[in-house]
Structure 1
């Protein structure tokens, strides 16, 4: 089955342990693919890893060490030209075999075959394919290149309608395939904006044997975390080090209103939001309010974190374990996108969350100006 690169999300099913060797073997046959180019694979949220092979003329083969029950989403790239959509594939990889065949260039319109999870992916992709969405996305890309913001805004209702229709197809496929691990993956990757109760209901309907992969376990954790950090719930306690290596705990702020602000130096929307947080801090810092910044900066990037604090003029307390998206506090709070924040009252209860721009000052004014 042919797919466009923009929709080439390979979903996986846990393969049978009978007769299978551990890990995944990938074999690619691609017309006119040049030799001597490194092929990289990266687990979602991880770092580049170079396999021990390069491309040969017309293809490559590689092994990815995946243990049973550890299937996850990966990026496979020929070279590191991530701006070229034909050079990358975003796939859910699991144990077994994956064969990639195409006429090129590189991964463009590639055929996927191999283990049963590949066929399951093909079925899912065919079921949710939307020609309307493809056409709208193409049109939006053209409008962005022309910087036609008015036309883009006018196209939003049409896009929203097509997206809702595609989302409903995803839901129906999930309900019809409770024994497929693809169902858990699809909830995790495509339905995060849906009500957490609906996500939980869909996940509970998936068979236990079909939830033996990382996305399913991550989804369960996120659902539990979202419920635990709902407005009215006690804020989960955590401790991380400040830039000087001193441990700072959320409980240290008891008796104050504290905004737990999840951000990172590499996050452009976070940096754009920082002036609003600074303005709110300066306005209310003398009214029993402060901020606790939690950075999702990556390993080895402490200098970037500190430089961003200084450049953006962020005078409050900062902590991080420098583990990127694996930051322990962000996982505890089920943070899936940044910036994200949680307003905690003096008793340690969450009273608001995800306050942006003027909404932050307005909410603080309603609470603190009484």
Structure 2
């Protein structure tokens, strides 16, 4: 199949007992020129969208929540826009609806069936994104919720990788691999699965983007000599990675505006307190922009990050993030006293476990 061609017509018809008259359904998807937003109102238990699309695009449908103005979405479903008639059946919520009718949506339905046992297990977990303000006061609860959710999402990755390998011509496989690579632990597996995809997928816009991420992820690998760099600290003093030779140093990439980064800082603080007198330190590299300098300094103080901080305040163009191929934050690299990369993207209790094996 070809994935880059002239615009073709798609239709979406939704029905089912889960749709109530008056419900507003929002459709959102990205194209080269930006984001497309559309909406319709449910009437007689049904809704309809139609439009033209170039190739295949993954879109999202939301009920009664306009994605332009709301960050937290509770009832939504992904739909693959492509030539043909797409059918959505909702027995209760959009989230649990069945989407069929075109090849990519049929493939996605197959993947959802494979993942269903894992999704059922998720109902027994505390989703960190839905914890109440009262829950968030319990630090132990928050840490456990994040760890459980991280382990849960990782438990599904082998199923997703197998799906991609057995569906090399499916656009769903390409989208799935693009999501998995956000956790660089799976970089090698994603590279292998990507190499087995059909050439048309690999050369598509999304395919080229994934290839770039794979290449960037390979810039700094375990076993390589860490690339030295120099950047100013908050006072303008130049700090070099080589200044820490003789210690294990975690080079941590973050930003003041990055929620997951800030949420992980308590784990870094715990590791720093436990191992800083045993030959371990942290060097945090912020990708904040110059306009965010005040927020950067405030975050350092508010989060109690007492170790070395640097930034060139060029945002995503930070020279060190470019040197290390950073495409997502938080990201980190653990460097040995000899300057060798011994681990990367250590999350939550993984950092302390690694340090314990190296220093105790």
Q: In which range does the TM-score fall when normalised by the shorter chain?
A: 0.5 to 0.7
Aligned pair in 2 of structure 1 residues 234, 220: CA closer, same or farther (>3 Å)?
farther
Aligned match for 2:166, one of 176, 188, 193: 176
Aligned pair in 2 of structure 1 residues 79, 240: CA closer, same or farther (>3 Å)?
farther
**Equivalent residue of 1:292, what SS?**
strand
| 1:41 has 2:13 as partner | no
Within 5 Å, give how 1:181-330 maps onto structure 2.
181-190=171-180, 196-213=187-204, 215-236=206-227, 252-257=240-245, 258-265=249-256, 266-267=259-260, 268-276=262-270, 278-279=272-273, 283=277, 291-295=282-286, 303-315=294-306, 316-319=308-311, 321-323=314-316
**Equivalent residue of 1:228, what SS?**
coil
Which structure ranks higher in relative contact order (CA pairs < 8 Å, sequence separation ≥ 6)? 1
Q: CA deviation at 1:342?
A: 1.5
Give, in whole Å, the separation in 1 of the partners of 2:315 and 2:14: 39
Q: CA deviation at 1:79?
A: 2.1
| 1:137 has 2:126 as partner | no
Q: CA deviation at 1:221?
A: 3.6
**Equivalent residue of 1:343, what SS?**
strand
Partner residue, 1:341: 332
- Equivalenced residues, count: 322
Q: CA deviation at 1:233?
A: 0.9
C-alpha RMSD of the superposition: 5.1
**Equivalent residue of 1:311, what SS?**
helix
Give, in whole Å, the separation in 2 of the partners of 1:135 and 1:38: 26
Partner residue, 1:122: 109
* C-alpha contact 1:15 1:96 (8 A) present in aligned 2: no
Give the TM-score of the pair, scaled to structure 2. Answer: 0.63
Give the TM-score of the pair, scaled to structure 1. Answer: 0.62
Give, in whole Å, the separation in 2 of the partners of 1:276 and 1:342: 17
Aligned pair in 2 of structure 1 residues 139, 302: CA closer, same or farther (>3 Å)?
same
* C-alpha contact 1:345 1:351 (8 A) present in aligned 2: yes
